[in-house]
């Protein structure tokens, strides 16, 4: 099950679109019904989480919290992706694309962290491949 939460009110978020994006990623990696939470939050909220869990007293664009565990009822809980819409807006204004596109890029980035990818260890190449396959083409 995928839960998409919009816990900020500064920028509109199409929750259905991002649920669809996560479903395409799940299908691409042939995962069996993982539980994922994707939450869009404010800079203040992501700063609190960054401080609490990573001891970094600043806002960031995306945080991923992989759980990678199966509960007693057999459900696979993959983890949580938290995205700051404010930070994404700032980043999108510096690039030639929309806020929606930046949120898609951050969603993919967070998802790959849940999959176990790490920076400088093949993650950037995987992101490029997935973006080309899923975002530019709209499907696999």
Q: Tens digits of per-residue pLDDT, 103-132?
A: 999 999 999 999 988 776 667 778 878 877
- For CA atoms 135, 13, 102, 128, give the dihedral sign: negative
Q: Where are the domains of the chain?
A: 2-136
- pTM value? 0.88
The CATH number of 2-136 is 3.40.390.30
Helix axes 85-93, 43-54, angle to 10 degrees: 110
Helix axes 99-114, 85-93, angle to 10 degrees: 120
Nearest to 114 by CA among 86, 81, 76: 81
The answer to whether 106 and 84 have CB atoms below 8 angstroms apart is no
The answer to whether 75 and 33 have CB atoms below 8 angstroms apart is yes
List the beta bridge partners of residue 34: 76
pLDDT for position 138: 52
Low-confidence ranges of the chain (pLDDT < 50): 139-140
């Amino acid at each position: 099950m995928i839960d998409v939460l919009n816990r900020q009110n500064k920028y509109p978020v199409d929750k259905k679109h991002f649920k669809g994006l996560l479903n395409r990623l799940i299908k691409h990696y042939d995962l069996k019904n993982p539980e994922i939470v994707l939450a869009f939050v404010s800079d203040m909220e992501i700063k609190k989480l960054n401080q609490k869990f990573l001891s970094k007293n600043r806002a960031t664009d995306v945080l991923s919290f992989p759980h990678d565990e199966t509960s007693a009822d057999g459900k696979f809980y993959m983890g949580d992706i938290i995205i700051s819409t404010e930070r994404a807006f700032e980043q999108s204004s510096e690039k030639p694309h929309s806020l929606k596109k930046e949120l898609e890029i951050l969603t993919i980035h967070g998802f790959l962290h849940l999959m176990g990818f790490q920076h400088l260890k093949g993650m950037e190449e995987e992101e490029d491949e997935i973006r080309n396959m899923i975002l530019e083409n709209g499907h696999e």
